[in-house]
């Protein structure tokens, strides 16, 4: 993408390190930023994404979209489209 969008915690500025820090209620563990907040196992869409204190972050639980710093409207629409589940 042409725009520089940085993914970081809106509260503390922690940047996800590409590791699977997030666990779904179904038990699956993955990197939620690879799927825009959707669990690959059960397809649950997470509106919010927790920051990870054990990886250097804080205990905030912000909206997933709030993690994208510099995200413009076009990209927001793209993410919304992904979230609504484009046919594979």
35-74 positions binding Zn ion, by CB under 5 A: 39, 41-42, 44, 51, 57-58, 60
Is the CA virtual torsion 62, 45, 71, 54 positive or negative? positive
29 near Zn ion, judged by CB under 5 A: no
Cβ distance to Zn ion smaller for residue 16 or 57 = 57
* Residue 81, H or E segment: helix 73-83
Nearest to 52 by CA among 5, 17, 6: 17
- List contacts with Zn ion (CB under 5 A): 9, 11-12, 14, 24, 26, 28, 39, 41-42, 44, 51, 57-58, 60
């Amino acid at each position: 993408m042409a725009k520089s969008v940085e993914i970081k915690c809106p509260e503390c500025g922690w940047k996800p390190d590409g590791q699977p820090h997030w666990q779904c209620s179904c038990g699956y563990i993955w990197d939620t930023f690879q799927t825009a907040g959707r669990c690959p196992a059960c397809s649950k869409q997470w509106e919010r994404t927790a920051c990870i204190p054990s990886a250097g972050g804080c205990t905030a639980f912000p909206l997933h979209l709030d993690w994208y710093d510099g995200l413009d409207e076009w990209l927001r629409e793209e993410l919304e489209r992904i979230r609504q589940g484009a046919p594979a």
